[in-house]
Copies of this chain bind each other. A is one copy, B any other.
Amino acid sequence: MRFDVTILGSSSATPIFNRNPTAQILNVNERLFLIDCGEGTQQQLLRNGIKAQRINYIFISHLHGDHYLGLVGLLSSLHLNGRVKPIGIFGPPELKEILEIQFKYSQTELRYPIIFQATQTETPEVIFENNDIIVETILLEHRIPCTGFKFSQKKRLRKVIKEKVDSIGIPVDMIPLIKAGVDYKDKQGNVYPASELTTDPDEPRSYAYCSDTICNWCYLDQIKGVNTLYHESTFMHDMLQRAQDTYHTTALQAAEVALKAGAEQLLLGHFSARYRELDPLLEEAKAIFPNSRLALEGHTFDI
């Protein structure tokens, strides 16, 4: 099952050095989820050959412009390009008002419904679930209310061993039962234990998106054991005071979070405009957490 994330933007606050503000596409079993939607996200989708109409759910972390200003344009284009199927948007409650006022004044009546679900920052909660994944909010601490998002694959059914199943001639409609652990009994009364017809399923994997936040450790429990952690690393650690003043994180801190969370892979992003070259941030993180990567635009990372 495909489970990866494509970076559309990794700049903090102001776009610069050809870096765009934050947006990511999560591909879960060929269903696309958009995480944050900075200005120019629709252009970035085009540049990366990703069909915007395939997005059915959008998650907005907070209402700083570099995380949502591309949303009205994207929603308008979906409308103009003929969308009729609904889109789900998760984000701070005030986002609804921001969208409504702009559609009102542009006299835009969307042809498709927006299903808006407000997030809150009191307690983490499950906000979405389908056959493949569960999405929970992560409580972050920024200058304004902000949540991260944790995408966890569901535990999956056992995998059938095709050659065995074929050689025994098990009917197709029995397969789901065998995957679920039911033994197979043929017409002659022979019993084939499900455990011998199947192998263990892949372990469910998970992705945590943490941007923007001061490194307060409060969210550590929630992301423990996550496979891939995206964590903002706006500054290098020599700018720790500035990071704290602006409720951001340093690359070193992000690496410490990844280490303590027991993550397998760390994606660094939300780079300050002060850094033209990003390798120093990567090196700083790698010294603590070797499997650190730069969340560069256009790159896709398996989770």
Contacts and interface: CB of A to CB of B under 8 A. Distances in A.
Contact of A15 (B46, B97, B101, B108): B46
B106 A97 contact: no
Given A69-B69, A98-B101, A144-B107, A77 B40 contact: no
B42 A42 contact: no
Given A72-B69, A73-B69, A43 B40 contact: yes
A131 interface: no
A13 to B, nearest CB: 5
Interface in A157-181: none
Interface in A1-60: 13-16, 18, 20-21, 39-40, 42-43, 46-47
A237 B142 CA distance: 53
Interface string A120-133: 00000000000000
A76 B102 CA distance: 18
Contacts of A107: 143-144
Given A13-B77, A43-B40, A105 B98 contact: yes
Contacts of A108: 65
A154 to B, nearest CB: 34
A98 B102 contact: yes
A76 B13 CA distance: 8
A69 to B, nearest CB: 5
A63 interface: yes
For A39, A46, A63, A81, the residue with the greatest tally of chain B CB atoms inside 10 Å of its CB is A39
A14 B80 contact: yes
Contacts of A94: 105
Contacts of A20: 43
B64 A14 contact: no
Given A20-B43, A69-B69, A98-B101, 18 more contacts: A14-B81, A15-B46, A15-B73, A16-B46, A18-B47, A39-B39, A39-B40, A39-B42, A39-B43, A39-B69, A39-B70, A39-B73, A64-B106, A65-B73, A69-B73, A92-B105, A98-B102, A105-B144
Q: Which 9 pairs from chain A and chain B are nearest by CB?
A: A14-B77, A39-B73, A40-B40, A94-B105, A63-B105, A65-B76, A69-B73, A15-B43, A63-B106
Interface of A: 13-16, 18, 20-21, 39-40, 42-43, 46-47, 63-66, 69-70, 72-73, 76-77, 80-81, 92, 94-95, 97-98, 101-102, 105-108, 143-144
